[in-house]
Chain A
């Protein structure tokens, strides 16, 4: 199963493609992000998310822009950008599709789901389909083990997956059908996601439920049996979310 963890390295990383979309407006937003922190350099991670939201990857121009705003060298920014797995040097598709293949999800079906998607999409790990729609990647634990096997689309949860539901999901994404996370919002594009991670809310926080079935498993049992913490519950008798 070790091949799960290899990433194609034979494809060259485009250095500059000469069509950077970083503008004065981007630089202004970078300064705005830097102003949120007592020390400006703390803004580097969100600034790199912003670069990805504009460029679709971390470009040399994006690195230089971050360096200029923060008074760092390009090498210092690159050192950070290459450390974190969410920063991509190759262009990412509209939808980043992740399959958890850490131990628990893997044995519950994640390995088979990932194999099926590689075949179905005809891509390897961390590769993008020819139509530029989907980038497939295996993930490490995404903190949703009670919903294993788990997938993520643009970092929204997709729970209790099977090879069939996984292929249906990527087909829907490719066909442009509206896709909703069972514990999140309607899936937006990867670039829009990156903008939220940079600290620019998109107003979708109220979409979706409070949690799924597993989130509420213990609470529902406690309600059924009348169990509470000492002193009782102020919520036991009030209106319930379905």
Chain B
């Protein structure tokens, strides 16, 4: 039985200048790369597959299997693309990881690239995080200078170039095929699949796209072995992961634990919900995962556990909202976000999110009716599953789940002729006596 918290990715974050190569090497950094380069690439893939590592960007697809899908008999170059476009509302794990220990990611990039025999790897990082970009740029340069990136890496005969690429502000680019279009210098719009990126990805070549946390988990797996990794977690959800607690919680932040911990346990570690208040609703993995309530405090936070209660583990972005928050206001704001971020390619998402916002605005002002709730649900049904990517699906998640759990609160808006909540009460400075 593993400890309650199991820092692996975060284990060196309290070391002096943990972002520098010298600090990272003092913590055993790049030992895993040496070990990997002494293995056959296929054995590296097998090790990651055996570990049970599943994608940490939301979908939970087995990472080793994704690597195995790369057709090695395809004569085109192969590419690794790291999705560092962390933008899902509530999600805040990759950014602190890259800020504190960019070399963990860079080492994982070199190992993963070697495993799939990529010649170039890209780290596509959202543009709105200047200092993270600086640290990534520096880490890649340090790794080049140390011979971990470049030609004949550590005498292995393996060559790799790594490019840090800054995006320009578009949530949709976190969707893997939109990210590829963006990385090709186009508008970030999703592609129809098949073909999948493993066959025809960047520049039409075989491409693996992995989340930052997935790739950053690879060095520890190579170093300690697949059994070590799978000794943590639950039957089908192996390993440790970063849970990000935010919102109305006493000590918000990053908590690295084996998969399967519950929100009750995490809240206990984080000092509980804001004093004087009770948990009202929460997201298990960002705003695109259906809302849960205090009924779900004991759900194991792994892929199966959260799925079984009708939501998704997603990015493990646990946004905690207490009883001071109006769920209609929260849902309206998320819906405005999806409307703004819809890339416009598919009609159900582009048009649907506009209608959703209009109806929710009316409801929040208390000018709606019961029928509006039916229209919202009907619209949601017509958006769900009818677009190229999951953005439209995500837009419906807060709406359908909030109506399921909090229908009375929507009704209270009509009865009250407006929102019954005081927006000041939910702020962090509510008790400090400050006001706008």
Contact = CB atoms under 8 A, between A and B. Distances in A.
A125 to B, nearest CB: 12
Nearest to A213: B253
Contacts of A146: 92, 244-246, 252-254
A23 interface: no
A85 interface: yes
Given A107-B330, A229-B7, A148 B137 contact: no
B92 A145 contact: yes
A38 B128 contact: no
B329 A1 contact: yes
Contacts of A112: 423-424, 427, 435-436
A70 B186 CA distance: 12
A215 B9 CA distance: 12
Contacts of A234: 11, 27-28
Contact of A38 (B10, B168, B203, B337): B203
A37 B2 CA distance: 44
A37 B166 contact: no
Interface string A196-226: 1111011011111011011111111111010
B269 A103 contact: no
Nearest to A236: B11
Given A43-B185, A213-B253, A152 B128 contact: yes
A229 B8 contact: yes
B187 A163 contact: no
Contacts of B169: 84-87
Contacts of A85: 168-170
A219 B256 contact: yes
B96 to A, nearest CB: 4
Contacts of B133: 196-197
B436 A217 contact: no
Given A80-B187, A215-B96, A219-B13, A145 B90 contact: yes
Contact of B129 (A143, A210, A214, A216): A143
A70 B185 CA distance: 10
Interface string A218-242: 1111110101111101111011110
B14 A196 contact: no
A156 to B, nearest CB: 6
Contact of A103 (B17, B183, B333): B333
B76 to A, nearest CB: 11
Given A146-B252, A241-B14, A107 B164 contact: no
B14 A223 contact: yes
B296 interface: no
B434 A163 contact: yes
A8 interface: no
A210 B100 contact: yes
Nearest to A82: B187
Interface residues of A, number: 100
B41 to A, nearest CB: 21
Contacts of A198: 166
B428 A102 contact: no
B170 A218 contact: no
A107 B27 contact: no
Interface string A147-160: 11100101111001
A230 B231 contact: yes
Interface in B158-187: 163-171, 182-187
A25 interface: no
Nearest to B326: A107
A154 B95 contact: no
B436 A116 contact: yes
A184 B131 CA distance: 6
Nearest to A198: B166
B95 A205 contact: no
Interface stretch (B48-56, B103-111, B317-325, B384-392): B317-325
A103 B89 contact: yes
A215 B13 contact: yes
16 contacts: A5-B336, A101-B333, A140-B337, A145-B244, A145-B246, A155-B130, A162-B432, A199-B137, A208-B131, A210-B14, A219-B7, A219-B254, A220-B14, A229-B8, A234-B11, A241-B16
Interface of A: 1-2, 5, 36-39, 41-46, 48-49, 70, 79-80, 83-87, 98, 101-104, 106-109, 111-113, 115-116, 139-149, 152, 154-157, 160, 162-164, 181, 183-185, 193, 196-199, 201-202, 204-208, 210-211, 213-223, 225, 227-231, 233-236, 238-241
Given A49-B166, A163-B429, 9 more contacts: A45-B165, A145-B247, A146-B92, A205-B134, A214-B251, A217-B251, A229-B2, A231-B228, A241-B18
Q: 6 shortest A-B CB distances, which residue pairs?
A: A217-B253, A214-B253, A44-B185, A218-B255, A84-B168, A145-B246
